[in-house]
Amino acid sequence: MAALTAFVLNGPNLNLLGTREPDIYGNDTLGDIEAATLKKAEALGITVDFRQTNGEGALVDWVQEAGAKADGLILNPGAYTHTSIALLDALSAIAIPKIELHLSNIHGREEFRRDSVTARAATGVIMGLGGAGYPLAIEALHALMTRGTGA
């Protein structure tokens, strides 16, 4: 079997993890989360392209790039979860398995955070497990990619 590739894309303010509202998002930095993700991916034989941006346009570009270059996608869209039709459209346009990921349980948060526009185009959603959700998402994505379904 050929090597599998996954993009792990992170949206706005996730670069502040470790210092931003640790009571909600935990104490792990994005670097800590990336290291744990890469460790799990390596064990499963997955090459990961791990990125973060605060810009919606860059995130849309990267989703499109993932559709062309990757076998699967994990996306933590941050605040764009609740507002970005552009991101939804980009996700809908790519034919690879897609997992939406959130550190917190968005259903237990403020009313405006409870709706995910982008989840409508996701194969599955993982939320509320903090940084531990990323390695779990890699495991789930591996299952989807090797099964050959789930786009």
Residue 102 is a catalytic residue: yes
Catalytic annotation, pick one of 25, 80, 134, 142: 25
Nearest to 90 by CA among 69, 72, 66: 66
Q: Which residues contact 5 (CB under 8 A, 6 or more apart)?
A: 46, 47, 48, 49, 69, 70, 71, 72
Tell me the three state secondary structure of residue 132.
Answer: helix
Residue 134 is a catalytic residue: no
Distance CA 91, CA 98 (A): 8
Distance CA 33, CA 35 (A): 5
Catalytic annotation, pick one of 80, 102, 134, 142: 102
Positions annotated as catalytic residues are 25, 102
